[in-house]
Amino acid sequence: MFSGYDFDVIQRSAGYLFRDGMTFTLTLTALAMVGGIFFGTLLAMMRLSKFRLLSLAAGGYVNLMRSLPLVLVIFWFFFLVPYIGAWIIGAKDPVKVGSFLSCLITFTMFEAAYYCEIMRAGIQSIARGQVWAGYALGLNYWHTMGRIVLPQAFRNMLPVLLTQTIILFQDTSLVYVISATDFLGAASKVANRDYRLVEMYTFVAVVYFIMSYGLSTLVKSLQSRIAIIR
């Protein structure tokens, strides 16, 4: 039944698919995860702040990001970032921003909203007494957060953070809308060039499935190990 298909195209294009495409996808995922968790944690701290202005600003940002479709945000940032960059440095012409950098900024800012909600739940899961104990010892807000609350919140939320990262890994494929060459984008280019759409998209699906499923299995085993430690 596969007589009409040419699966050799996969082997022929594997170098391009993985060296260019998958590298783009994984680098973007990893950096957006690190940036997203960093800014997400800051946002979570702001949302839980007793200063109303901070919590309102962070809440507004998170709600805005979570109410917009990702594709729209990718588009929007791709066309807007050059102008924002120009405005920041005071240049006349739009700044040239590569598609990778544009994607990275977009995903970091978008995912920060989701990581924020995870970290917020994590921070709130830490008993109030822990904060009291930190303050009672004379530790200030930053030390109490950095050494007592966040490490525990992070550990409690690790499985959820990783699950969100798997979603991020899949979502990075949406960068095809700005013609960036991620794994899907690379495959799509080969598919169209050689007219091997079924073969390439099937292969892409299999690879995404294996990687995502493998990662989520890992998360599950991690989850049960954390449960034992606790």
Partner 1 sequence: MISIKNISKWYGSFQVLTDCSTEVKKGEVVVVCGPSGSGKSTIIKCVNALEPFQKGAITVDGISVGGPKTDLPKLRSRIGMVFQNFELFPHLSVTENLTLAQIKVLGRTEEAARDKGFKLLDRVGLMAHKDKFPGQLSGGQQQRVAIARALSMDPIAMLFDEPTSALDPEMINEVLDVMVKLAQEGMTMMVVTHEMGFAKKVAHRVIFMDAGKIIEDCTKDDFFGTPRSERAQLFLSKILHH
Distance in Å, CB of 126 to partner 1, minimum: 10
- What gap in Å lies between CA 32 and CA 29, rounded to an integer? 5
Quote the least distance from Cβ 110 to partner 1, whole Å.
30
When the beta carbons of 64 and 137 are compared against partner 1, the nearer one is: 137
Smaller CB separation from partner 1, 147 or 193: 147
Q: How far, in Å, CA of 115 to CA of 98, rounded?
A: 25
Residue 69 region by backbone torsions, left for phi larger than 0, else alpha for psi between -120 and 50, else beta? beta
Whether residue 118 contacts residue 66, with contact meaning beta carbons closer than 8 Å, is answered with no
- Shortest distance, CB of residue 154 to partner 1, whole angstroms? 10
- Residues within the interface to partner 1 (CB under 8 A): 127, 129-130, 132-140, 143, 147-148, 151-152, 155, 230
State the residue for tokens 């909600």: 117
Shortest Cβ 224–partner 1 spacing (Å): 17
Identity of the residue, 7 or 132, whose beta carbon is nearer to partner 1 in the bound complex: 132
Which CB atom, from 132 or from 195, has the smaller least distance to partner 1? 132
Region for 95 from its dihedrals, namely left if φ exceeds 0, alpha if ψ lies in -120 to 50, beta otherwise: beta
